[in-house]
Structure 1
Amino acid sequence: MLIDRYGRRIDYLRLSVTDRCDLRCTYCMPKGFNGFEEPEHWLSFDEIERVVAAFARLGVGRVRLTGGEPLLRRDLPVLAARLSRLPGMADLSLSTNATQLGRHAGALKQAGVNRLNISLDSLQSERIATIAGRDVLSDVLAGLAAAQAEGFQPIKLNMVVQPGVNDDEIEAMVRFSMEHRFILRLIETMPIGTTGQQSGFLDLQQVLKSLSRQFDLVPSATELGGGPARYWQSRDGEFTLGAITPISQHFCATCNRVRLSVDGTLYLCLGQNDKLALRPLLRSGASDEELEQAIRDAISLKPERHEFREQPSKVIRFMSATGG
């Protein structure tokens, strides 16, 4: 097992397969940005499989495919099938904006992807266009319908809540999720890159109290995917609400994850700059034992916590470059 110096077991890898995206969400990537990683620096499918296999041998059984927008990576279901068959792989999931999901849902399900997290910040076309750079609401809704038709369960909706932008839509999103049997997760904006630092932050604590009263929700101890969300459920168990609150109530003491970017850089904390480049090892003939030792050494560098409140402008890389 991978245990860091603070006694946390690391069993979750978030794997970015591309830093490209077909949207420009205001909190993630600047409008007009084109400073993407060169394709020759991307890890190949063989390299990705080798790294994930090394993590799996070290006890990391949860992998989430992220981006950018992961469905822009050609033949992603082929990679997913390869990863799902690795010994020790317990859970393979995908984060997506769902604009391409209608075409790929069936292939992803057949490839062994277990669960989906889908970004949806608004149910209003004009607002989606403001947040994401263009109106893709109909594409996202079609992707959600395709995912449900393929039997994906659960499907989580991720709503990044921004004051004065979409915070007045939280109740509508709750009712939409109830109607369609989605899990809704509200997320505080993180100050990552200039885009995240310029986006407004809304403390979700009072929002959660209000929603709990309005919809008669009770805290839930149910574990849903190994991530950082805290959950509440309706008393009949038919609806689940999650919250990811890295600013108002951080979860660093139980952090169990690291992130691998498309160029093979292993980031140890979303809110810090600690990292290790694995691509040079992969392309210089390192043995599996050397690769595993490099991963162990990297985990020993994982910091205790982020400093989003203390140093909100510390992390200058964009979220899309780090990987979900």
Structure 2
Amino acid sequence: MSEPIPLKFAGGSPLDRRARALTDLRISVIDRCNFRCPYCMPEADYPRDHQFLSKSQRLRFEEIERLARIFVSLGVRKLRLTGGEPLLRRELPELVRLLARIPQVEDLAMTTNGSLLPASVAALREAGLQRITLSVDTLDAETYRTLSGGRGEVAELHAAIEAATRAGFSRLKLNSVVMRGVNDEEVPDMVAHFRGSGHILRFIEYMDVGTCNAWREDKVVPSAELRERIARRWPMHALPANYGGEVAQRWALDDG
């Protein structure tokens, strides 16, 4: 049995092994998802009869709030709601309301595929949700169906972006998992589409997630190669990190 790792603190926050402050907490509110994206929850490993957690096995909202308050007391300041697909969890705005009332929470966000967002985005905003991250792997209709496991339509994605913008989420984060031979050729077109929108486009390298997504190294497009492709059309410059230990590398087009 491994020995427990003693916590070290700095500035009121616990530190990881690299001495980075642990200020972010991801809360998976449900393990189910209505998509079967091949890089995350492929159909072969998650068929329609897959046994997800039952309702009684999930943490209740009050339990999630209690845990969040404990983590906040240890220095966490940012909460992100995830899944599966978090919008499959009924009455999610109520959980947002509970978490938004924790005084020390500086950022309350949610990551979603967007397919169910238009129906609840206004209530989420009113409850106190501050930011939304959407999965935007492609803008091509056929590729979108493929990357959602045949369960999503690109029109739903556009509707989600429009609904979120109308509700007051003017600066969305848009995540795109790039896979060679699947959607990598679309990267410049995606930049062109969202250029000047105010949204933040984030390209993510295709990663192994516990050997359940048939990960292949030859499908990975390194971030340096992506930057080179974009720079052929638009000169770019690096941006400083938002905070110490930030994992993402931030870039901006020279012309905005």
Q: Quickly name the TM-score band, shorter chain normalised.
A: 0.7 to 0.9
Whichever residue aligns with residue 174 of structure 1, its letter is V
Out of 173, 178, 184, the position equivalent to 1:161 is: 178
Contact 2:237/2:252, CA 8 A, preserved across alignment: yes
Q: What is the alpha-carbon distance in structure 2 between the residues aligned to residue 227 and residue 64 of structure 1?
A: 16
* Structure 1 residue 4 corresponds to structure 2 residue 6: no
TM-score, with structure 2 as normaliser: 0.87
* Structure 1 residue 217 corresponds to structure 2 residue 229: no
Contact 2:170/2:198, CA 8 A, preserved across alignment: no
Q: What is the alpha-carbon distance in structure 2 between the residues aligned to residue 192 and residue 141 of structure 1?
A: 27
Figure out how many residues of one structure are paired with residues of the other and give that number. Answer: 236
Q: What is the alpha-carbon distance in structure 2 between the residues aligned to residue 60 and residue 154 of structure 1?
A: 23
Secondary structure at the counterpart of residue 82 of structure 1: helix
Secondary structure at the counterpart of residue 48 of structure 1: helix
Aligned to 2:29: 17
Query: Could you say which structure has the higher helix fraction?
Result: 1
Deviations 1:103-131 (A, max 9, x none): 11111111111111100111111111111
Aligned to 2:122: 106
Q: What is the alpha-carbon distance in structure 1 between the residues aligned to residue 229 and residue 140 of structure 2?
A: 23
Question: Which has the bigger relative contact order, CA under 8 A and spacing at least 6?
Answer: 1
| Structure 1: gaps spanning 5 or more residues | 239-324
* Structure 1 residue 95 corresponds to structure 2 residue 111: yes
Whichever residue aligns with residue 128 of structure 1, its letter is Y
| Structure 2: gaps spanning 5 or more residues | 1-12
* Structure 1 residue 137 corresponds to structure 2 residue 149: no
User: 1:179: how far off?
Assistant: 4.8
* Structure 1 residue 124 corresponds to structure 2 residue 143: no
Q: What is the alpha-carbon distance in structure 1 between the residues aligned to residue 40 and residue 135 of structure 2?
A: 12
Secondary structure at the counterpart of residue 201 of structure 2: strand
* Structure 1 residue 150 corresponds to structure 2 residue 167: yes
How high is the sequence identity, in percent, across the aligned residues? 38
Structure 1 runs (4+) deviating above 6 angstroms are: none
Q: What is the alpha-carbon distance in structure 2 between the residues aligned to residue 173 and residue 89 of structure 1?
A: 33
Secondary structure at the counterpart of residue 103 of structure 1: coil
Q: What is the alpha-carbon distance in structure 2 between the residues aligned to residue 227 and residue 69 of structure 1?
A: 25
Q: What is the alpha-carbon distance in structure 2 between the residues aligned to residue 5 and residue 126 of structure 1?
A: 43
Whichever residue aligns with residue 145 of structure 1, its letter is E
Secondary structure at the counterpart of residue 119 of structure 2: helix
Question: Structure 1's 7 and 198: CA in aligned 2 closer, same or farther, altered over 3 A?
Answer: closer
Map residues 190-229 of structure 1 onto 2, 5 A cutoff: 190-199=207-216, 200-221=219-240, 223=242, 228-229=247-248
Secondary structure at the counterpart of residue 101 of structure 1: coil
Contact 1:159/1:186, CA 8 A, preserved across alignment: yes
* Structure 1 residue 69 corresponds to structure 2 residue 122: no
Contact 1:26/1:195, CA 8 A, preserved across alignment: no
Whichever residue aligns with residue 171 of structure 2, its letter is P
Whichever residue aligns with residue 165 of structure 2, its letter is Q
User: 1:181: how far off?
Assistant: 3.0
Question: Structure 1's 98 and 175: CA in aligned 2 closer, same or farther, altered over 3 A?
Answer: same
CA RMSD, aligned part only?
1.8
Whichever residue aligns with residue 74 of structure 2, its letter is L
Aligned to 1:260: none
Q: What is the alpha-carbon distance in structure 2 between the residues aligned to residue 117 and residue 183 of structure 1?
A: 9
Q: What is the alpha-carbon distance in structure 1 between the residues aligned to residue 63 and residue 246 of structure 2?
A: 25
Q: What is the alpha-carbon distance in structure 2 between the residues aligned to residue 227 and residue 111 of structure 1?
A: 28
Out of 46, 66, 71, the position equivalent to 1:50 is: 66
